[in-house]
């Protein structure tokens, strides 16, 4: 029987690249997104559903519907997210609330829908897209950084519980990746100077953007190996190691980067 996957945020960026790689490997994929789903599904050769992950009932219907149709759910990729950039003092509560609704509650809604189902069937893998910003002190995107740290914590704690039920959980923590997210910071929200320059700021911070197709292959290798944290590319892993060795030095380095990028 073919394996089955749901990928939220699957119409573009990381979600689309992961979905394409899953399809190539023979997995029955359903992508979900708030827009662009029909065209992306047609191009990828998979199923597509319009779904706003901030709507818990919509996510429940998506997950349970796919599981009922195929008799199983092997993978849930909680990937949908938005980018928010700016100085801390520029953010309104709308920036905070929208980021939490999509980047954190969207993951919670996916877990809430899929985890009991996976416990019942005795297998499954939940893969939550966090970010290197969920492992490091990442300034200039405080709401985003906050939600991604929360996704890492959720994933690791759930992984500890889920192992007893045969269910796996991983968090994906990529560095800056070449996706449309960088060209659409603060979507539907008050814009900031850093938000408008998100792609430029990312290139200055990392040197070059990681190809999304390479990241998708990294993600699926990490899933196959059942890694708790899938950190890519190599430069992101080096940054993560440096933070673990000296958190205080990492904060000072982040402050230096903040001053360099914002001047």
Catalytic residue among 144, 176, 210, 240: 144
Burial (0-12, 13-18, 19+ Cβ within 10 Å), 262 = middle
Q: What is the pLDDT of residue 259?
A: 80
Q: Which residues contact 18 (CB under 8 A, 6 or more apart)?
A: 7, 10, 77, 79, 216, 219, 220
* 210 annotated active-site: no
pLDDT of residue 21: 98
Q: What integer pLDDT is reported at residue 197 of this predicted model?
A: 81
What total number of domains does the chain contain?
Answer: 1
CA dihedral sign of residues 168, 113, 41, 54: negative
Predicted local confidence at residue 173, as pLDDT: 98
For the residues 22-42, what does the mean pLDDT come to? 98
Tell me the pTM: 0.95
How high is the pLDDT of residue 118? 98
Contact (Cβ atoms closer than 8 angstroms) between residue 235 and residue 206: yes
The CATH code of the domain that includes 42 is 3.40.50.720
Model pLDDT, residue 58:
98
Query: What value does the mean pLDDT of the chain take?
Result: 95
Q: Are 230 and 172 in contact (CB under 8 A)?
A: yes
Per residue in 49-74, pLDDT (tens digit) is 999 999 999 999 999 999 999 999 99
Q: Is the pLDDT of residue 18 over 90?
A: yes
- Parent domain of 120: 4-262
Q: Assign 154 a pLDDT band (cuts: 50, 70, 90).
A: very high
What does the pLDDT look like over 80-121, one tens digit per residue?
999 999 999 999 999 999 999 999 999 999 999 999 999 999
């Amino acid at each position: 029987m073919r394996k089955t996957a749901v990928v939220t945020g699957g119409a573009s960026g990381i979600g689309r690249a992961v979905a394409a790689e899953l399809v190539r490997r023979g997995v029955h994929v359903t992508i979900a997104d708030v827009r662009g789903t029909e065209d992306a599904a047609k191009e990828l050769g998979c199923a597509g559903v319009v779904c706003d992950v901030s709507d818990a009932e919509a996510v429940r219907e998506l997950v349970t519907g796919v599981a009922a149709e195929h008799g199983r759910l092997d993978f849930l990729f909680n990937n949908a997210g938005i980018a928010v950039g700016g100085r801390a003092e520029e953010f309104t509560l709308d920036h905070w609330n929208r980021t939490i609704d999509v980047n954190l509650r969207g993951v919670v809604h996916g877990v809430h829908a899929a985890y009991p189902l996976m416990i019942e069937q005795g297998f499954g893998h939940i893969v939550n897209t966090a970010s290197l910003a969920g492992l490091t002190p990442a300034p200039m995107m405080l709401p985003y950084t906050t939600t991604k740290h929360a996704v890492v914590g959720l994933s690791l704690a759930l992984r500890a519980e889920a192992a007893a039920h045969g269910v796996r959980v991983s968090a994906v923590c990529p560095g800056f990746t070449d996706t449309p997210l960088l060209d659409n910071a603060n979507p539907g929200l008050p814009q900031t100077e850093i938000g408008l320059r998100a792609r430029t700021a990312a290139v200055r911070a990392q040197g070059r953007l990681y190809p999304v197709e390479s990241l998708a292959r990294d993600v699926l290798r990490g899933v196959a190996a059942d890694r708790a944290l899938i950190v890519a590319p190599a430069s992101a892993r080096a940054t993560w190691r440096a933070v673990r060795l000296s958190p205080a030095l990492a904060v000072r380095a982040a402050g230096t980067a903040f001053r360099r990028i914002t001047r």
